[in-house]
Amino acid sequence: MREDSKRFQNMFVLVNLKAYPCDPKGIAVAAREVSEESGVRIGVVPQTAHLKTVAQTGVETWAQHVSPVAQGSHTGALLAEAAADAGATGTLLNHSERRLQLAAIDDSVAAAERAGLETCICANNPDQIRAATALRPSAVAVEPPALIGGDVSVATADPGIVENAVVAANQVDTTVSVFCGAGVSTGADVQSAAELGAEGVLLASGVAKSDTPREVLRDLVAAD
């Protein structure tokens, strides 16, 4: 197997459903089946209320956020243990639509680790990626806010930011994976991200807002 094909095959495709009006169970089933067909790791990130429904399909399931708290009097918080009990195996943190202060990110990483969840800290640029990596999450993801929800992938619009994010993370801790997001919607985008050194991609609207999410997922994992 060529090195670039092997790198693509090892990519993690993480689909964030945000609060879009979509069918989380249907997308989860499609994601599980496409993952099984292709051998590419695919995870789904639903609304908190849908974590159990999505996890029961057998797809890898992540929470959109966990709060930087332990069990106790924290009304409205999303307890990491509750997310894990619902079937989550990982969580996003500090997404551009759910920003946290650095100390809160650190506490949320600790909460997630306490519950046995993987973690992916989102950040805007390589400098923030460096700071996020120092918190020792499972992964970091570079997502320029201006490109989120758009039609142009960060790997195409600004490949340097992906390459520099990989370098920044590796300077701190080579065991922390680097993902990229914003505008990812095709297999070509995923392949470009892999070639730039990313180990995974985050995407949302390309799948969640599609009338044919299964076909979109198949295209995402189809290497050239």
136 to each of 5, 49, 205, how far by Cα in Å? 28, 28, 29
pTM comes to 0.92
Catalytic residue among 60, 143, 163, 199: 143
Residue 2's pLDDT band, with cuts at 50, 70 and 90, is: very low
Residue 143 a catalytic site member = yes
Residues above pLDDT 90, as percent of the chain: 76
What CATH number has the domain spanning 3-220?
3.20.20.70
Catalytic residue among 95, 113, 199, 215: 95
- pLDDT recorded at residue 143: 84
Contact 155, 180 (CB under 8 A): yes
- pLDDT recorded at residue 1: 41
Length of the chain: 224
Q: Chain-wide mean pLDDT for the chain?
A: 90
Specify which residues 77 forms β-bridges with: none
* Arithmetic mean of pLDDT, 3-23: 83
Residue 95 a catalytic site member = yes
Specify burial of residue 134 (Cβ count, 10 A radius: 0-12, 13-18, 19+): middle
Residue 193's pLDDT band, with cuts at 50, 70 and 90, is: confident
